[in-house]
Amino acid sequence: MSTSSALPDLSALISRRAQTMTASAIREILKITQQPDVISFAGGLPAPELFPLDAVRQAAETALNKYGPAALQYSTTEGHPPLREWIAERHGIPAQNVQIVTGSQQGLDLLGKILINEGDTVLVEAPTYLGALQSFQPYLPQYAQVPTDEGGIDVDALERLLQTTKAKLLYAIPNFQNPTGRTLSLERRRRLVELTAQHGVLLIEDDPYGELRFTGEALPSLYALGLELAGDVDRNHVVYCSSFSKTLVPGLRDAWIEAASPIVAKLIQAKQGADLHTPTLNQMMMTELLPLLPAQIETVGAAYRERGAHMLRQMDEQFPAGVAYTRPEGGMFLWVTLPQGVDTVALLPRAVENKVAYVPGQPFFALGGGQNTMRLSYSSATPEQITQGMRALGQTFREALA
Amino acid sequence: MSTSSALPDLSALISRRAQTMTASAIREILKITQQPDVISFAGGLPAPELFPLDAVRQAAETALNKYGPAALQYSTTEGHPPLREWIAERHGIPAQNVQIVTGSQQGLDLLGKILINEGDTVLVEAPTYLGALQSFQPYLPQYAQVPTDEGGIDVDALERLLQTTKAKLLYAIPNFQNPTGRTLSLERRRRLVELTAQHGVLLIEDDPYGELRFTGEALPSLYALGLELAGDVDRNHVVYCSSFSKTLVPGLRDAWIEAASPIVAKLIQAKQGADLHTPTLNQMMMTELLPLLPAQIETVGAAYRERGAHMLRQMDEQFPAGVAYTRPEGGMFLWVTLPQGVDTVALLPRAVENKVAYVPGQPFFALGGGQNTMRLSYSSATPEQITQGMRALGQTFREALA
- CB–CB of A78/A100 below 8 Å? yes
B240-269 burial, b if ≥16 CB within 10 A, otherwise e?
Answer: bbbbbbbbbbbbbbbbbbbbbebbbbbbbb
pLDDT of residue B363 exceeding 90: yes
Residue among A10, A71, A266 minimizing CB distance to B21: A266
Check whether A143 has a pLDDT greater than 80: yes
Q: Where are the domains of chain B?
A: 16-51+295-401, 53-291
Residue A306 sits at φ, ψ, to 5 deg, of -65, -45
> What is the CB neighbour count within 10 angstroms for residue B31?
9
Residues of A in contact with B282 (CB under 8 A): 279, 281-282
Instruction: Give whole-number Cα distances, A68 to A86, A199, B48, B248, in Å.
Output: 22, 50, 9, 15
- pLDDT value of position A1: 44
Q: What is the mean pLDDT of residues B113-123?
A: 98
Nearest CB to B276 within list A2, A70, A105: A105
Amino acid at B189: R
**Which residue type sits at B61?**
E
DSSP summary character for residue B257: E
A35, pLDDT greater than 90: no
3-state secondary structure of A257: strand
Residue B162 has pLDDT above 60, yes or no: yes
Strand pairing class (B152-153; B39-40): unpaired
State the SS3 of B352-390: HHCCEECEECHHHCCCCCCCCEEEEECCCCCHHHHHHHH
Distances (CA, A) of A321 to A50, A315, A334, A339: 35, 11, 18, 9
Q: What is the pLDDT of residue A3?
A: 46
On the question of pLDDT at A104 being above 70, the answer is: yes
DSSP classification of residue A137? G
Closest approach of chain B CAs to the CA of A362, in angstroms? Answer: 19
Q: How far is A390 from A375, CA to CA, in rounded Å?
A: 13
CB pair distance less than 8 Å for A10 and B60:
no
Query: CA B243 to CA B250: how far, in whole Å?
Result: 8
Q: What is the pLDDT of residue B5?
A: 58
- Count of other CB atoms within 10 angstroms of residue B324: 13
End-to-end CA distance of chain B: 67
Beta carbons of B289 and B36 less than 8 angstroms apart = no
Q: Nearest to residue B205, comparing CAs of B191, B192, B214?
A: B192
Candidate from A387-401, B16-30, B232-246 with smallest mean pLDDT: B16-30
Q: Do A16 and B53 touch (CB under 8 A)?
A: no
What does pLDDT average to over chain A? Answer: 95
Q: How far is A203 from chain B (nearest CA, A)?
A: 10
- B36/A394: higher pLDDT: A394
**Using an 8 Å Cβ cutoff, are B398 and B356 in contact?**
no
CB A255 within 8 A of CB A275: no
pLDDT at B139 over 60: yes
A251 with B45: Cβ contact below 8 A: no
Q: Are B150 and B127 within 8 A, CB to CB?
A: no
pLDDT above 90 for A30: no
Q: What distance in Å separates residue A106's CA from the closest CA in chain B?
A: 5
CA quadruple B16, B22, B23, B27: dihedral positive or negative?
A: negative
As a whole number, the mean pLDDT across chain B is: 95
- Cβ of A48 and B73 within 8 Å? yes
Classify A309 as helix, strand or coil.
helix
B241-292: pLDDT as tens digits: 999 999 999 999 999 999 999 999 999 999 999 999 999 999 999 999 999 9
Architecture per CATH, A22-51+295-401: Alpha-Beta Complex (3.90)
Q: If pLDDT is split at 50, 70 and 90, which confidence band does B2 have?
A: very low
Torsion on CA atoms B33, B37, B42, B46, rounded to nearest 10: 130
Contact call for A231 and B4, based on CB within 8 A:
yes
pLDDT band at B91, cuts 50/70/90? Answer: confident
Identify the closest residue of chain B to A57 by CA–CA distance: B61
Interface test with B, best of A1, A20, A58, A263 (most B CBs within 10 A): A1
Of chain B, the percentage scoring pLDDT greater than 70 comes to 97
Cα–Cα distance measured from residue A380 to residue A48, given in angstroms and rounded to the nearest whole number? 7
CA-based nearest distance A53→chain B, Å = 7
The CA dihedral of B311, B314, B316, B318, to the nearest 10 degrees, is -130
pLDDT of residue B140: 97
Using a CB-CB distance cutoff of 8 angstroms, which residues of chain A are in contact with residue B243? none
Question: What would the mean pLDDT of B291-297 be, rounded to a whole number?
Answer: 97
In this predicted structure, the answer to whether residue A357 has a pLDDT above a threshold of 50 is: yes
**Per-residue model confidence as pLDDT tens digits over A8-17:** 999 999 999 9
pLDDT mean over B100-112: 98
Q: Does domain B53-291 have CATH number 1.25.40.10?
A: no
pLDDT beyond 90 at B30: no
Per-residue pLDDT tens over the stretch A50-60: 999 999 999 99
Helix axis angle for A261-275 and B104-115, nearest 10°, is 100
- Nearest CA to B274 out of B112, B120, B137, B118 is that of B112
Answer yes or no: do B4 and A232 touch at CB < 8 A: yes
How far is B11 from B5, CA to CA, in rounded Å?
15
Q: Which of A106, A111, A118 is closest to A17 using CA atoms? A: A118
Question: Which chain A residue shows the shortest CA-CA distance from B6?
Answer: A198
Residues of A in contact with B257 (CB under 8 A): none
Verify whether the Cβ–Cβ distance A229 to B190 is below 8 Å: no
Q: CA A380, CA A50: separation in Å to the nearest integer?
A: 10
| Mean pLDDT of the B58-73 span | 98
For the stretch A293-340, pLDDT in tens is 999 999 999 999 999 999 999 999 999 999 999 999 999 999 999 999
What single DSSP character describes residue B22?
-
Degrees to nearest 5, angle at CA A142 with A136 and A146: 90
Q: In terms of CATH architecture, what is B16-51+295-401?
A: Alpha-Beta Complex (3.90)
pLDDT at B26: 67
Beta carbons within 10 angstroms of residue B156's beta carbon: 12
At residue A77, the 3 state secondary structure works out as coil
Q: From 3.40.50.300, 3.40.190.80, 3.20.20.70, 3.40.640.10, which CATH number describes the A55-291 domain?
A: 3.40.640.10
Q: How far apart are CA B100 and CA B243, in angstroms?
A: 9
Q: Is the model's pLDDT at A26 over the cut of 70? A: no
List B239's β-bridge partners, or say none: B204
Cβ neighbors of B306 (< 8 A, separation 6 or more) are none
What pLDDT sits at residue A25? 66
> Minimal CA–CA distance to A257: which of A148, A395, A97?
A97
Q: Do B17 and A24 contact (CB within 8 A), yes or no?
A: no
Search chain B and give the residue with CA nearest A69. Answer: B48
Closest chain B residue to the Cα of A67, Cα to Cα: B53
Of the candidates B362, B371, B365, B374, the one whose C-alpha atom is nearest the C-alpha of residue B336 is B374
Residues of B in contact with A9 (CB under 8 A): 200
Q: How far apart are CA A367 and CA A380, in angstroms?
A: 30
Cα–Cα distances (Å) from B54 to A39, A64, A130, A232, B46, in that order, read 42, 9, 41, 46, 17
Could you give the 3-state DSSP secondary structure of residue B28? helix
